[in-house]
Structure 1
Amino acid sequence: MPEEELFKTEEAVPRTEIAEALRDTADQIESGDVTLVNDAEEQTVTVPERPRFEVELERLTDSETGEQRYELEYEIRWTK
């Protein structure tokens, strides 16, 4: 199934801002409609009553430098 990226944003921000964004998003998820906004675009989506929820923590190691990076991902998915 081909993917179509509808919205993406990525930037380094203080963890307090991340926590604030997650709290705001949690409130939107609870209400059923989530609106994503950045400088160039806006997307709104309706989250169903029982979507699938995945939490993943990964440790990745750069093969050349040996530097380790962590990724903490929260994913909500559903079919239409």
Structure 2
Amino acid sequence: MPEEQLFKSENRIDRAAISEALRDAADQIESGDVTLGSGAETQTATVPERARFEVELERLTDSETGDQRLELEYEIRWTE
């Protein structure tokens, strides 16, 4: 199935700003409509009453430098 990226935003911010963004996202998810925006670009999605929710913590190692980084991902999936 081909993938179409509808929105992406990536910023380096402090922990307090991350937790504020997650609280805002939680409020939007609970209401059923999530609006993502960055500048003039916005996308809105309606989250159904039931959806698949995945939490993942990964350790990734750079094959050339051996540097490691951790990724914490929250993913919500549903079928239109």
Structure 1 residues 1-80: aligned runs within 5 Å:
1-80=1-80
Query: What root-mean-square deviation, in Å, do the aligned CA atoms of Structure 1 and Structure 2 show?
Result: 0.6
Q: Which runs of 5+ in 2 are unaligned?
A: none
**Structure 1 stretches (4+) deviating beyond 4 angstroms?**
none
Return the letter of the residue paired with 2:58: E
Alpha-carbon separation, structure 2, partners of 1:9 and 1:24 = 15
- Tell me how far 1:39 sits from its aligned partner: 1.4
Percent identity of paired positions between Structure 1 and Structure 2: 76
Return the letter of the residue paired with 1:59: R
- Tell me how far 1:40 sits from its aligned partner: 3.5
* Number of residue pairs aligned between Structure 1 and Structure 2: 80
Return the letter of the residue paired with 1:62: D
Task: Using structure 1 for the length normalisation, give the TM-score.
Answer: 0.97
Task: Using structure 2 for the length normalisation, give the TM-score.
Answer: 0.97
Alignment deviations for residues 20-73 of structure 1 (CA, whole Å, 9 cap, x no partner) = 000000000000000001014001110000010000000001111111000000
Return the letter of the residue paired with 2:77: R
SS at match of 2:26: helix
Return the letter of the residue paired with 2:61: T
